[in-house]
Amino acid sequence: MSATEFKDGLIKEIPNLRAFAASLSGSMQLADDLVQDTLLKAWGNSEKFEPGTSLRAWLFTILRNTYYSLYRKRGREVQDSEGTYAERMATHGNQESHLDLADFRKALAKLPEEQREVLIMVGATGLSYEETAEICGVAIGTIKSRVNRARTKLAELLSIGSIDDLGPDRKSAAAMQRVGSEIVGL
Give the start-to-end residue ranges of the domains of the chain.
1-81, 91-186
Q: What is the CATH number of domain 1-81?
A: 1.10.1740.10
Euclidean distance between CA atoms 178 and 186, whole angstroms: 12
Do the Cβ atoms of 97 and 90 come closer than 8 Å? no
Question: What tens digit of pLDDT does each residue of 46-83 get?
Answer: 999 988 888 998 999 999 989 888 877 765 444 445 55
Question: What tens digit of pLDDT does each residue of 111-154 get?
Answer: 888 888 888 888 878 888 998 998 889 999 999 999 999 888 88
Task: Quote the pTM value.
Answer: 0.54
Close Cβ partners of 125 (under 8 Å, ≥ 6 residues apart): 16, 19, 20, 56, 60, 85
- In this predicted structure, the answer to whether residue 35 has a pLDDT above a threshold of 70 is yes
Question: What tens digit of pLDDT does each residue of 146-177 get?
Answer: 999 988 888 888 877 544 444 445 544 454 44
Long-range contacts of 141-149 (CB under 8 A, 24+ apart): 143/118, 146/114, 146/115, 146/118, 146/119, 147/115, 147/118, 147/119, 147/122, 147/123, 149/115
For 28, which DSSP code? H
Amino acid sitting at position 76: R
The phi and psi torsions of 127 (rounded to 5 degrees) equal -70, 150
Do the Cβ atoms of 42 and 10 come closer than 8 Å? yes
pLDDT band of residue 8 (cuts 50, 70, 90) is very high
- Say which range, 40-49, 92-101, 149-158, has the weakest mean pLDDT: 92-101
- In this predicted structure, the answer to whether residue 85 has a pLDDT above a threshold of 50 is no
| 91-186: CATH architecture | Orthogonal Bundle (1.10)
Percent of the chain exceeding pLDDT 90 equals: 28
